[in-house]
Structure 1
Amino acid sequence: MKIAFNEATTLGNSTLENDLIYCQKHGYDYIEIRHDKLKEFLTQHTVNDLKRFFELNRIKPYAFNALEIITFRDEAGFRRIEDDLRFLCETGKEIGCSKITVLPTFGIGDYSREVIKSETVRVLRLLSDLAEPYGVSLALEFAGYPNCSVNTFGQAYEIVQAANRDNVGIVLDCFHFYAMNSQIDDVRKADPRKIFVVHISDSDDVPAAELRDHHRVWPGLGVIDLDLILTTLKEIGYNEMVSVELLRPEYWEWDAETTIETGKQTTENAVRRHFPN
């Protein structure tokens, strides 16, 4: 099982350039590159600079994170999503990054689950058609909040199955899985080949309806049964990667290297009991 770093973990205290240096230093296998940090990086550097870094170092890019609010967009809004997707696909082709996380829309009102499913499938198919020539896959990430249109693993997996595209899969985020009481049996029934990304973090002991990203804590320091999730992933044959992702402002106040080092240590501690290699 490979260990990745999601740049949201240093959103407030680092840059892509620094994240790459510290992640390489502390032995990460992969990095999930944030869209906003990438654009900031390219104001001072080129895509070729990024490509060369990965050619010269052990760490590799795993996914871009993320295209957000992809569903229920007006025409102009969806064109911006398409433009951003092309930019990430073109960059990914140059640096060897072949996955993009995509997130559904929040706060859509009284749409039924069937309408939500139909719209999300429609959009995923359109975006998958655009990404496919680049060899890029899309990973749908549900968000475990009541106002997210897709907020459980089971709902997201059903949508991915209905999309029925080889380059469309799912993100299993442990925090979001816990936050809306997703069911572990749904993971047991899943095809591991459709789980494209796994995000790992833990949670404060807060009622589910109140949980938000700032309640995330380092893996193993909270109340999520990470052992159950990791054991289940192993049982179904998933052995690709886990990426530490936290959006806790308290950690953004730390020195960036300390944040990255702590993420590696706590993730290793949580994962290696189940995946020694």
Structure 2
Amino acid sequence: MKLAINGATTMPHSLEADITAAAAAGFSGIELWWDKVKQCLETQAPEYVRLLLDRSGLEAVAICPFLVSPFRNQEALRKDFELAVRVAEEIECGMLVVCPDFQPASLGKEEALKRHAEELAWYAERAASAGIKLAIEPIGGHTLVPGPLEGLALIRRAGSPANVGVLFDTFHNLRSGIGDDQLEQIPLDKLYIVHINDSPDLPLNELKDADRVYPGCGIIPLHDVVGLLRRRGYAGYLSVEIFRPGYWERPIDDNVRDAFHYTGQLLNG
């Protein structure tokens, strides 16, 4: 398995700073935060981002996140996604991470899932035309896609596009109250990436993204998760995604170095 860091872990910092710090810490890959990419592209061409990545030696594992929603802002979301597809193609990034929207109160669950699947199929077709994969990220406590099995079911509803798989996030999995057995049920060719992070010992209904901590510094049995991934032959990326304001306030090099250190300890322990 290879280690990556997600731009959420260093949220206040620029794309350039993210890439520099990730490479210096020893990461092999990086998930680019889309808002940072767009900010960079206000003054630079995509070739500049490609050059930064080439010089750093980092692989652009994914760009994230993108909301898929048939319920609101559909035109604007689609336009933003199409821009991301073009940018991903130009910087040689092969995957975009998409997040499902919540079920509107005005719609029954079956109708909401049907419409969501139709929208996902549109996204999948646009991405496939550029040779790009989509990773669906289940969200902790989500009304439609709280876990990987619901993500796989949504893919089937969308017609089982070959370029769509799921992302497994250890924190979201905890928040949804899902056991590791679901990780075992994801076909290996549909497990596109793993977000690895930890959690303090708080009631599930109180946990927020801002509570996330470095891998190995909380109560999630990550050694079991890593062991299961190894037994299954997963050889993809473990990406550290942490939204903790206290970490954001630290010098970026210290934050990223600790993210690499703790995740490396977990892998080697």
Q: What is the TM-score normalised by the length of structure 2? A: 0.94
Contact 1:35 1:66 in 2 (8 A): yes
**Preserved contact between residue 153 and residue 183 of structure 1 (Cα < 8 Å):** no
Tell me the residue number matched to 2:47: 48
Q: Percent identity?
A: 27
Task: Tell me which residue corresponds to 1:59.
Answer: 58
1:28: which partner in 2? 27
Instruction: Indicate whether 1:226 and 2:225 are aligned.
Output: no
Q: Tell me the amino acid that sits aligned with residue 41 of structure 2.
A: L
CA distance, structure 1, for counterparts of residue 66 and residue 206 of structure 2: 25
How far apart are 1:55 and its partner, in Å?
A: 2.5
Which of 174, 177, 194 aligns to 2:173? It is: 177
- Aligned residue in 2 for 1:10: 10
Within 2, Cα distance between the matches of 1:238 and 1:113? 33
Q: How many pairs align? A: 268
CA offsets per residue over residues 20-74 of structure 1, 9 Å max, x none?
1111111111110011001111123221111112223311101001102x12324
- From 264, 267, 275, the equivalent of 2:263 is 267
Instruction: Check 1:235–1:168 CA distance in 2 against 1; reply closer, same or farther (3 A cut).
Output: same
User: Could you tell me which residue of structure 1 aligns to residue 212 of structure 2?
Assistant: 216
> Which 5+ residue runs of structure 1 have no aligned equivalent?
none
Q: 1:192 aligns with which of 171, 188, 211?
A: 188
Question: Partner residue of 1:153?
Answer: 148
- The secondary structure found in structure 2 opposite 1:214 is helix
The answer to whether the 8 A contact 1:6-1:243 is kept is yes
TM-score for both structures, normalised by structure 1: 0.91
Where in structure 2 are the equivalents of 1:232-247 lying within 5 Å?
A: 232-247=228-243
Between stretches 48-57 and 34-43, larger displacement belongs to 48-57
Q: Does 1:123 align with 2:122?
A: no
In the TM superposition, residue 199 of structure 1 has moved relative to its aligned partner by: 0.4
Q: Is the 8 A contact 1:171 1:197 kept in 2?
A: yes
Structure 2 gaps of 5+ residues are none
Cα offset for 1:148? 4.2
Partner secondary structure for residue 64 of structure 1: strand
Q: Cα distance 1:111–1:237, how it changes in 2: closer, same or farther (>3 A)?
A: farther
- Asked whether the equivalents of residues 215 and 262 of structure 2 are also in contact (C-alpha less than 8 Å), the reply is yes
CA distance in 1: counterparts of 2:84 and 2:32, whole angstroms: 10
| Cα deviation, residue 112, structure 1 | 4.2
Question: Alpha-carbon deviations, 1:227-277, whole Å to 9, x = none?
Answer: 22222222222111110000011111111111111111111111234xxxx
Deviation per CA, 1:100-126, whole angstroms, max 9, x where unpaired? Answer: 011111362264443343233211111
| Structure 1, 100-109 or 111-120: larger mean CA deviation | 111-120
- 1:183 Cα deviation (Å)? 2.8
2:132 equivalent to 1:136: yes
Which shifted more, 251-260 or 232-241? 232-241
- Aligned equivalents of 2:119 and 2:228: distance in 1? 30
1:108 maps to which of 87, 104, 107: 104
CA–CA distance in 2 between the matches of 1:119 and 1:229?
33
Whole-angstrom distance in 2 between the partners of 1:272 and 1:171: 23
Kept in 2: contact 1:200–1:219 (CA 8 A): yes
Q: Residue type matched to 2:30 in 1?
A: I
